């Protein structure tokens, strides 16, 4: 959702990166961090071999899916350094030798640009690691490359197609290339689903991590506000932006999140961050609050009923709950906050880009798109950019009142779900199955569970525990305010129901 120059990797570079080596085990056979680390420790594969295996797989499959924009030229060199440590019996950290793909609005050191999918930023080589990238490197991760996304985190046009950018083209769903990958972290979710890497990072303003994870069938966590820094990330709205992991297991997503989180002097939202200890959950069964599914497709509603039945069969109590708060102003307020934040923050970001980037303001970006209409506005326009540019930034009182109102309302809606119904955890379908990509009419969303968590700044987890006609549909865990650790544990308990002998419903 909100969240031509194709692959800038020359054939010569690809050839250097993908030279064939003898594998005891191939990269595509390994998915989880534990599996990779076990293979390392048992000398079944090296970090260099693993990294080259992923690069080879990307080169082979990516032309069909457009999930990856760029491969990091130093990826193999990074892997060799990890192998050097391994040879000395040293371990770089919890992500030792784990290749990670980054959404292309996250800055990195080196020669790769950070484009947000826009040709206006095709030369945005900042040579700066975002805070989250520094955290990954410090934990031993290998930065593998950059993934495609909805241009400007899907905050450009009301009629956009999620997963499309002028830089990377249209990303396609991992399970059906005629269907949409959702967005805006489209390439990251598709890349994990296709096993281009064990871990990818996405960003979310409202649904941009959880929706693509849901429709591509991968695990993902949208963290709580203030848990993970956004510095070094192309902004949409500091009121709601977050950075989070996608992975092949909930355990891996949680591990990566534990690496990403922490205080960053450059992001004031993280200044009060404190590491929480896991609460002791001794009960064997949960009281699960199930939100209505009537806004989703009929097939998704049927799936949800089967999932609730499976949870009951596993010994959990399922209570039907609904939002009692009046949300009439919520989404109008949200849109105003996003327009205001984007105007202020993208102007600040563009003004501080390197000299080789010529677009230095939102007005200049709008002009650039007009001047490059054939490439930038081939399928849809830029009405949202124009609306954002018209926002009066001097109306700070209106902004602060609106922000207080919408955040208070969203937070109360979530806390009341827990308090009024006496439940341990709240669940809902994440979204409906992927729709057919339509570059003429744009996206066709059918239901979403992302907004309350996005606005309140609470944790939102999606689990790939169901399918409709072979298309993945995620199940959302909507955390209570200030209770992310409890949500992780409850998500693990629920996930276990569907990876146990009980068949995943379809």
For residues 118-134, give the mean pLDDT: 98
Three-class SS state of 388: helix
pLDDT at 11 over 60: no
| Confidence band of 506 (pLDDT split at 50, 70, 90) | low
**Has 184 been annotated as catalytic?**
yes
Range with lowest mean pLDDT among 82-91, 158-167, 281-290, 478-487: 281-290
Quote the pTM value. 0.94
Alpha-carbon dihedral sign for residues 352, 353, 357, 363: negative
**Predicted pLDDT of residue 25:** 79
Exactly one of 103, 134, 146, 403 is catalytic; name it: 103
Name the active-site residue from 118, 165, 184, 293.
Answer: 184
What is the rounded average pLDDT of the residues 425-440? 98
> Is 160 tagged catalytic?
no
Question: Is pLDDT of 504 > 60?
Answer: no
Mark whether 103 is an active-site residue: yes
Mapped onto helix, strand or coil, the DSSP state of residue 245 is strand
Q: What is the mean pLDDT of residues 100-122?
A: 98
SS3 51: helix
In angstroms, the CA 138 to CA 127 distance is 17
The tens digit of pLDDT for each residue in 385-408 reads 999 999 999 999 999 999 999 999
Out of 208, 229, 237, 432, pick the active-site residue.
208
What 3-state DSSP class applies to 113?
Answer: coil
Average pLDDT in the chain? 93
| DSSP type of residue 434 | P
Checking if the pLDDT of 318 tops 90, the result is yes
| Predicted local confidence at residue 23, as pLDDT | 45
End-to-end CA distance of the chain: 25
Rg over CA atoms, the chain:
22
């Amino acid at each position: 959702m909100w969240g031509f120059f194709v692959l800038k990797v020359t054939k010569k570079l690809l050839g250097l990166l993908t030279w064939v080596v003898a594998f005891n085990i191939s990269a595509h056979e390994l998915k989880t961090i534990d599996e990779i680390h076990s293979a390392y420790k048992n000398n079944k594969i090296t970090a260099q071999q693993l990294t080259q295996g992923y690069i080879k797989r990307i080169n082979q499959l990516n032309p069909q899916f457009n999930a990856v924009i760029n491969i990091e030229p130093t990826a193999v060199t990074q892997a060799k350094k990890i192998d050097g440590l391994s040879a000395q019996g040293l371990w770089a950290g919890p992500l030792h030798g784990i290749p990670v793909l980054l959404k292309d609005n996250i800055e990195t050191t080196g020669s790769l640009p950070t484009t947000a999918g826009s040709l206006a930023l095709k030369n945005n080589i900042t040579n700066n690691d975002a805070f989250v990238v520094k955290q990954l490197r410090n934990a031993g991760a290998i930065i593998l490359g950059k993934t495609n996304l909805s241009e400007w985190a899907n905050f450009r046009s009301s009629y956009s197609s999620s997963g499309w950018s002028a830089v990377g083209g249209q990303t396609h769903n991992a399970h059906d290339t005629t269907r949409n990958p959702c967005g805006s972290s489209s390439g990251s979710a598709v890349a994990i689903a296709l096993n281009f890497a064990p871990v990818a990072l996405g960003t979310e303003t409202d649904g941009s991590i959880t929706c693509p994870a849901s429709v591509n069938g991968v695990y993902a966590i949208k963290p709580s506000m203030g848990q993970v820094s956004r510095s070094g990330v192309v902004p949409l709205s500091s009121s709601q932006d977050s950075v989070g992991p996608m992975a092949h297991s909930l355990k891996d997503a949680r591990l990566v999140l534990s690496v990403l989180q922490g205080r960053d002097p450059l992001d004031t939202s993280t200044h009060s961050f404190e590491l929480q200890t896991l609460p002791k959950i001794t009960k064997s069964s949960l009281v699960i609050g199930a939100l209505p599914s009537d806004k989703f497709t009929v097939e998704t509603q049927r799936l949800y009923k089967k999932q609730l039945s499976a949870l009951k069969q596993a010994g959990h109590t399922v209570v039907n709950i609904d939002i009692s708060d009046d949300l009439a102003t919520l989404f109008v307020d949200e849109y105003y906050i996003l327009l205001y934040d984007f105007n202020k923050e993208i102007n600040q970001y563009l003004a501080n880009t390197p000299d080789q980037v010529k677009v230095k303001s939102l007005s200049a970006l709008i002009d650039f798109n007009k001047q490059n209409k054939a490439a930038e506005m081939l399928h849809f326009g830029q009405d949202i950019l124009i609306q954002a540019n018209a926002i009066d930034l001097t109306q700070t009182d209106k902004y602060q009142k609106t922000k207080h109102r919408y955040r208070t309302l969203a937070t109360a809606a979530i806390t009341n779900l827990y308090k009024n119904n006496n439940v341990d955890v709240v669940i809902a379908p994440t979204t409906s199955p992927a729709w057919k990509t339509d570059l003429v009419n744009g996206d066709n969303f059918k239901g979403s569970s992302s907004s309350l968590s996005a606005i309140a700044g609470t944790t939102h987890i999606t689990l790939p525990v169901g399918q409709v006609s072979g298309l993945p549909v995620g199940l959302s865990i909507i955390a209570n305010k200030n209770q992310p650790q409890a949500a992780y544990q409850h998500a693990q308990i629920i996930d276990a129901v569907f990876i146990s002998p009980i068949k995943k419903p379809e």
